[in-house]
Structure formats: structure tokens, C-alpha cells
Structure 1
Amino acid sequence: MSTKARKTAQVMAVTLTSAMLTLTISSGTPSGAAAGEVEAKALVKTMSDYMAKQKSVSFAYDTSLEVVTKEHQKLLLASSGTMDMGRPDKIRATRSGGFANVEITFDGKTLTLLGKDNNLYAQFEVPGTIDHLIEELRAKHNLPVPGADLLQSNVYEELMRDVVDVKDLGSGVIGGTECDHLAFRTKEVDWQIWIAQGEHPYPCRYIITSTQVDQGPQYSVQISDWKTGAELNPKDFSFKAPTDAKRVDDPKQLIDIDELPDNFVVGDTK
């Protein structure tokens, strides 16, 4: 066989392999698809019930946010942080990356955003539960919390809203933990989740793909060092201003507290 013919055969083999993989994922008997959908939803419900029962949760996380430039170049912004949560109304979280170094505290009454690099902080009253806090941030302050669906008291209801397609992709391993890998579609986004197998079915990885944006950028959260059941001290969730920290009236005065830097301009969708 000539070199040209060999290369042609190799390309055809790769193409056929990719086609077979696509066919395997998308095809199947109707009864098999229905069974997979039922099982996948049951796994998410089990995770949701487990999460709701935990009075205290702490974990570390790594995030990645894809950004598509007007020249159609895809960039990846990475950050890491920690989360301590006490249900129903306590949160302390940190996030650091190339553009931000932020701490968030919520004691059931007051939310505080601290920009550590500039030693500036903003506070506003949001009495209520964590669920209420997340909704207030989205609706009134235009501060959506990426991945916040995983923190709410009814994860299943939040995640499964508007789902139109479900796939059970079998097992995967995240950070050494064997997980169930599930994929879901809505009209606006695709999302995947990896749920730890065993007695502690927590979310190990969560990926959201924006199907309405050019090149389908993704946002992902990977969770590690998952711990539950610790005794909580309410004082740990009360904010104490650092030395020489300055309070600002408007959160917009805090520079680079989001995962998307302030000098990035959000463009149009498709």
C-alpha cells in the first residue's frame, strides 16, 4: 500500500470510529432510552436528597470559564476557592484567580463581598435562607452565582427545570472518585454532571455549555475535599473587616470580583 493510500485509510478509520461513537451515544431502542432517562433522573434525585439532608458542608473547588473573542478565539479563565455552608442560612466562600481575590460571607441577615486585593467591601441586607439569597442576587443585584443550583435545598427541582433530553453516559472518574456521568439538554444550555457513587452522592463535576453562544463556551466546577457533619460556630460566618478596609455603597465599586474580569466586554450571542 502506498503512503498516500495508507494515510487515506487512517483518516477513514478515524472518521468511522468517531461516527460509531456518535451512533452509540445517540441511538438505542426506545425502551432502553426511557430506562436510561429514568435511572439518570433517579441518580440526580438521590444526590439532591443527600445534599438537602446535610446540615453542614465544606469543600474546595476549581472553576474554568471559557470566553470566545470576536476573532473566534476560545480562552479559558481558571480560579479556585473554598466553600463552607451551614443550612439553612450560613455561607463563607473564597475565590482566587488571575483577576480576583474575593471572600463572601452570609450570616442569614447580611451578605458581605470583600475584594481582598483592593481591601474594599460592600454589604447589603438579605435576610433569609441560602435559597432566598441566591434568588435575590440573581433578580435584584444582577449577581448570578455560577453553579449556585448545587447549593440550593432542592437541587433536583432547580437542575431538571426545562430539561428536554437526558443521557446516562455510564461511569467516569473525577479526582480519583468513581462517578455516574449524566448529560442533559434544555433549549438554551447543555449540562453534564458527575455524581460520586456510594454512600455520599455529591457532585464531583458540573459543566454548563452555552448552546446559544458562538462556539458553545463552557463553565465548569470541579469539587474536591468534600466534608459533611462538622460542628458550626455562627461566629465563623460573621464578617470582620480587615485592618484599613474601606466600605463602598455599591458592589459595582468593587473591582474584579467576578470570574469575568471588568476589562472583558460581553458581546452578542449567535
Structure 2
Amino acid sequence: MPFAAAAQEAADTAEEAAPPAAPVIEPEAISALDRMAAALQTLTSFEVKSDVTTDVVLEDGQKIEFGGTLDLEVARPDAFKVVADSDTRTREMYYDGAKFTIYSPKLGFYASFDAPATIGMTLDKARTEFGIEVPLADLFTWGTDQTVRARVKQAMVVRPETITGRTCMHYAFRQEKVDWQVWIEDSGKMLPCKIVITSRVDPAMPQYTAVLHWDIDTPIEKASLAFAPPADAHEIAIEEVDDQEESEQ
């Protein structure tokens, strides 16, 4: 069967290419994260266009993969726009230093909440108070969360690989409930080329993958990221998640 043969070939290739797993933290892998974080924090504005895939696990355990795109525009310290587009749904998220707004163009509804003064605090409020996870939010805040190192249980350098024509070093990390991999461009820029996140809570181990394309040279004005509701859009109330629901996430 072609699928079986392809799966066996992939398994054989992985067995030959992948280093043996070991419960160790390689200093070079952590150092690479630090260098990437420092590079991200120097960016005052940037745009990232990403090709993303997401696994959905059916009741019988079968995984179904969906594709889409994710575009981020950021003007630090207090503005961003995120557009997540796929065949199944589209969501837009805006932050202008005063309000966070989430908008569904296909449904024609939007909702907002009063936001704190920085991107990091706004992302935290969206997640903890309203259950809204902003995709690839780590790109906004990497390097500002000092607990990341404490959560890493394993870290390894895999090998250099080519991602859309770029030579990137592949690193793999393990935490208590999630495995994640990052490919970092090996050109002095130290920007991530690709990110893969694998849930270890679900036995099917679904993955989220994003291949990133950066524009760090074109200035982005804060005013261009503000939300302007279309004439036919309707505002609805945004609901806070209760403490019990938040504690289970």
C-alpha cells in the first residue's frame, strides 16, 4: 500500500537522521533560544506571514490535518494585528494600546475588551480572563518570560536543515505537557524559520506547525493596525471565562 510504504520510509529516515533521545538539556540549545529571544526583542516593528497546519483529533483517535495562513503585524510596544485564515474559519485580532478586538469576517461579529498598556499584558489578559489564545503569541514576548527555562525538561540540537531556501538550525525541546521544535535561521538574524508544537496531553499527540516568512525592514505604523468595523458588522458582548474553566486549561 502506498501510504504504508511512505509511512515506513519516513520512519526509517527518522530513525537514521534523528539523534537518540536523552533526558538532558544541551547548553547550546538553550543558548540558541537566548540569542533568538534577543534578536526578537530588538525588533520595533515587523510582519510575519506563516503557512500553518493544525491537527484535529476525531473521537476514534484519527488525526485530520487542516491548513491555513497566519499573518502578524506588530508595532511595539502597544499595537498588533493578527489574521488567521483557513477554509474552516477566519479570525482577526487587533490591539491598539487601549482595546483588544476579535472579529469574524465570515460571521460579521466583533467583540472588544479594555486592554492594558503593553502587548505582553494584553496577551495575558486575553488568555486568562477571556480564554482567547493569540496564535504564535510567543513571537511577541519571547525573552520576557523568565520561567521558560524552568519549564524545559529536555533540550537538544538536532541538525542544520533547509526551510524554504533558508539554512536553519533545528532544535527540539520537551516540557511536561508539550514537545516543541524550532528551526532558527543560521544567517546572523537568529529569527525562527519554523515552529512545531506537539501536545502530549492527548494520546494522539496532535501538532501545530507554522513556517514563518519575515519582513523586518518595512516600517509598520501603529495607526495602520487599528480596527475599523465594516458597516455591516455587529458588535457583541465578550464573555469572561470562569475560574473553574480557566483552571482546567
| TM-score, scaled relative to structure 1 | 0.78
Alpha-carbon distance in structure 1 between the residues aligned to 2:68 and 2:18: 35
- Asked whether the equivalents of residues 55 and 229 of structure 1 are also in contact (C-alpha less than 8 Å), the reply is no
Instruction: Determine helix, strand or coil for the equivalent of 2:133.
Output: coil
Is the 1:105–1:239 Cα contact (8 Å) retained in structure 2? yes
Change (3 A) 1:126 1:141: same
Return the alpha-carbon distance in structure 2 between the equivalents of residues 79 and 66 of structure 1.
Answer: 12
Q: Displacement, 1:55? A: 0.2
- Tell me the equivalent position of 1:182: 171
**2:210 is equivalent to residue 216 of structure 1:** no
- Paired residues of 2:34 and 2:143 also in contact (CA < 8 A): no
**Residues 107-130 of structure 1, C-alpha deviations (whole Å, 9 max, x = no match):** 111011111112211111112211
1:108 paired residue number: 97
Change (3 A) 1:121 1:194: same
After the TM superposition, which residues 33-44 of structure 1 pair with which residues of structure 2 at under 5 Å, given as runs?
37-44=26-33
Q: Which residue does the alignment assign to 2:149?
A: 160
Higher CA-based Rg: 1
Q: In 1, are the aligned partners of 2:24 and 2:155 still within 8 Å (CA)?
A: no
* Residue identity matched to 1:25: P
Report if the CA contact (8 A) 1:94-1:103 is conserved: yes
What is the CA-CA distance between 1:21 and the residue it aligns to? Answer: 3.3
Quick one: structure 1 residues 67 and 158, their matched pair in 2 at CA, closer, same or farther if it must change by over 3 Å? farther
Query: Which AA in structure 2 matches 1:79?
Result: G
Aligned to 1:80: 69
Question: CA-atom RMSD, angstroms?
Answer: 2.8
Q: Distance in 1 between matches of 2:115 and 2:44?
A: 21
Shift of the 251–115 alpha-carbon distance from structure 1 to 2, 3 Å rule, reads farther
Tell me which residue corresponds to 1:232: 220
Q: Distance in 2 between matches of 1:20 and 1:193?
A: 17
Q: Which residue of the other structure, out of 244, 251, 262, is the alignment partner of 2:232? A: 244
- Counterpart for residue 183 of structure 2: 194
Whole-angstrom distance in 1 between the partners of 2:23 and 2:63: 36
Fraction of identical pairs, as percent: 24
Give yes or no for contact 1:45–1:156 (8 Å, CA) kept in 2: no
Are the counterparts in 2 of residues 48 and 156 from structure 1 also a CA contact under 8 Å? no
List alignment gaps of at least 5 residues for structure 1.
Answer: 1-10, 28-32, 253-270
Cα deviation, residue 230, structure 1 = 3.1
Task: After the TM superposition, list the runs of 4 or more consecutive aligned residues in structure 1 that deviate by more than 6 angstroms.
Answer: 33-36
Name the stretch that deviates more: 190-199 or 153-162: 153-162
Structure 2 vs 1, CA of residues 240 and 210 (structure 1 numbering), >3 Å: closer, same or farther? Answer: same
Structure 2: state its 5+ residue gaps: 241-249
Partner residue in 2 for 1:263: none
Query: How many pairs are equivalent?
Result: 233
Select between 40-49 and 159-168 the one with higher mean Cα deviation. Answer: 159-168
Encode CA deviations 1:235-263: one digit per residue, 9 max, x unaligned. 212221112211111269xxxxxxxxxxx
